[in-house]
Amino acid sequence: MRPVCVKCGKEFRCEKNGHLVAHLYERPKGAPEKTVGDIHIINLDYAISPDHYDCGRVDFLVSGDKYRCPACGNEIVTGFGEPMVDYDYPQERLREMVEYAKQRGYLTIIRRS
């Protein structure tokens, strides 16, 4: 079954398979960080305000399906079946993937509230 719009009661229609969702790096600016083996340990208590987050780097990318409500135009991305692309890739490559998807109109960046 396809997703259903709570507002309209209509089934969403799939607009795009392979819609890229980018999650930005949530390391607070200036927060202490150390590396133990392959693991980065970050003190997230250092900064609480979203204004202090270092959002210039990509944490991970994941591909999903973008749906739109035919009545009100609400959009969602769901169905994240592919493995995420993360720190195993160089930051430059992650940024290239984001820019490529942005230029083609199939990118959503997760924003902190």
Residue 4 covered by a domain: no
pLDDT digit string (tens) for 15-45? 999 999 998 876 555 555 666 676 666 555 5
Give the Å distances, CA to CA, from 53 to 26, 56, 84, 85, 107.
Answer: 6, 9, 22, 21, 21
Contact 66, 76 (CB under 8 A): yes
Residue 48, in any domain of the structure: no
**Residue at token pair 């994941």:** 62
Q: Tell me what percent of the residues of the chain surpass a pLDDT of 70.
A: 71
**pTM of the full structure:** 0.70
Domain annotation covers residue 90: yes
> 3 lies in a domain?
no
Note the pLDDT tens digit of each residue in 52-91.
Answer: 455 567 888 999 999 999 999 999 999 998 889 987 888 8
- Over the chain, what is the mean pLDDT? 81
Count of domains observed in the chain: 1
Kindly state whether residue 53 falls inside one of the protein's structural domains. Answer: no
The domain of 95 spans 13-27+58-110
Residue 91 lies in a domain: yes
99 lies in some domain: yes
Is 51 within a domain?
A: no
